[in-house]
């Protein structure tokens, strides 16, 4: 696969790639597919992962992950210790989350909504490969924009599809639905803009099982690793 496909993989080719995983699973039961997914996630936690482009450029040094419980996460003030490469496991969803930066500005409180630019890298854990990125020039004219709302602690969101023809997620997967795994960080991060050099917008890393993922992951029963930044759009 050429480097250009990593930078801007056309939707047809990407869907063909993900369809391959689905077709390979047609002889497997759903229980067998889920078992394979669980084993792939466990292996991902224990491997010293470095995500690279084909030319060797490091995109993300995942490392060996230290899982922590929700209770430990709460006792630490809803933070994850980066020196120990901690990820909190949310037992109800199976999502693992690391807060790399909590962000600037304020948390999205109940009754509030915001338009948020998200930049991300999506890594197919079962396929052991980069599947999609929007942090490259190809997608700059069409940023991924989420409309996020908080209803008494329950976050909902959708991708905009009209601005610039829609971002990478909508264009590739054909849905305005935001993966529910992407919403897990919102109670714990602040949504703002970078107003000074020493500030940083919210940045998280997620391991998202198929039940909380995008449409292709859901149908193909595969987990994804994400590195995502969230930045509030100007009013």
| Average pLDDT of the segment spanning 83-109 | 97
Instruction: Provide, rounded to the nearest whole percent, the portion of the chain with pLDDT above 70.
Output: 87
pLDDT at residue number 57: 83
pLDDT at residue number 235: 73
Contact 199, 82 (CB under 8 A): no
Q: Is 214 buried (19+), middle (13-18) or exposed (0-12) by CB count in 10 A? A: buried
- At 3, is the pLDDT very low, low, confident or very high (cuts 50, 70, 90)? very low
Q: pLDDT digits over 182-228, tens only?
A: 999 999 999 998 776 667 999 999 999 999 999 999 999 999 999 99
- The answer on pLDDT for 160 being more than 90 is yes
Three-state SS at 139 = helix
pLDDT at residue number 234: 83
Query: Residue 47, by phi and psi: left (phi above 0), alpha (psi -120 to 50) or beta?
Result: beta
Q: Which of 235, 19, 231 is nearest to 105 (CA)?
A: 231
| Average pLDDT of the segment spanning 63-90 | 97
Least confident interval from 51-60, 82-91, 207-216, 217-226: 51-60
- The residue among 138 and 11 whose pLDDT is bigger is 138
- The answer on pLDDT for 10 being more than 80 is no
- At 56, is the pLDDT very low, low, confident or very high (cuts 50, 70, 90)? confident
Q: Which of 70, 60, 41 is nearest to 187 (CA)?
A: 70
CATH top-level class for 3-232? alpha beta
- At 166, is the pLDDT very low, low, confident or very high (cuts 50, 70, 90)? confident
Q: pLDDT digits over 123-156, tens only?
A: 999 999 999 999 888 898 889 999 999 999 999 9
Q: To the nearest whole number, what is the mean pLDDT of the chain?
A: 88
Which of 22-36, 40-54, 74-88 has the highest mean predicted lDDT (pLDDT)?
74-88
pLDDT at residue number 1: 35
pLDDT at residue number 6: 42
| Cα torsion 100, 105, 110, 112: sign | negative
């Amino acid at each position: 696969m050429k480097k250009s496909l990593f930078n801007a993989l056309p939707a047809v080719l990407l869907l063909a790639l993900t369809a391959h995983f689905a077709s390979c699973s047609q002889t497997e039961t759903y229980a067998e597919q889920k078992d394979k997914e669980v084993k792939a996630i466990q292996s991902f936690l224990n491997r010293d992962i470095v995500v690279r482009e084909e030319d060797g450029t490091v995109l993300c040094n995942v490392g060996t992950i230290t899982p922590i419980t929700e209770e430990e996460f709460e006792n630490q003030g809803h933070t994850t210790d980066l020196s120990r490469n901690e990820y909190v496991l949310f037992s109800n969803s199976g999502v693992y989350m690391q807060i790399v930066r909590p962000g600037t500005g304020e948390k999205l409180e109940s009754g509030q909504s915001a338009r948020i630019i998200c930049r991300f890298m999506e890594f197919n854990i079962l396929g052991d490969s980069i599947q999609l990125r929007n942090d490259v020039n190809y997608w700059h004219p069409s940023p991924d924009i989420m409309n996020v709302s908080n209803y008494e602690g329950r976050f909902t969101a959708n991708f905009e599809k009209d601005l610039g023809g829609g971002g990478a997620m909508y264009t590739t997967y054909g849905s305005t639905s935001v993966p529910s795994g992407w919403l897990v960080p919102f109670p714990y991060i602040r949504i703002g803009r970078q107003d000074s050099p020493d500030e940083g917008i919210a940045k998280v890393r997620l391991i998202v099982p198929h039940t909380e993922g995008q449409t292709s992951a859901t149908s193909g029963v595969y987990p994804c690793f994400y590195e995502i930044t969230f930045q509030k759009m100007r009013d």
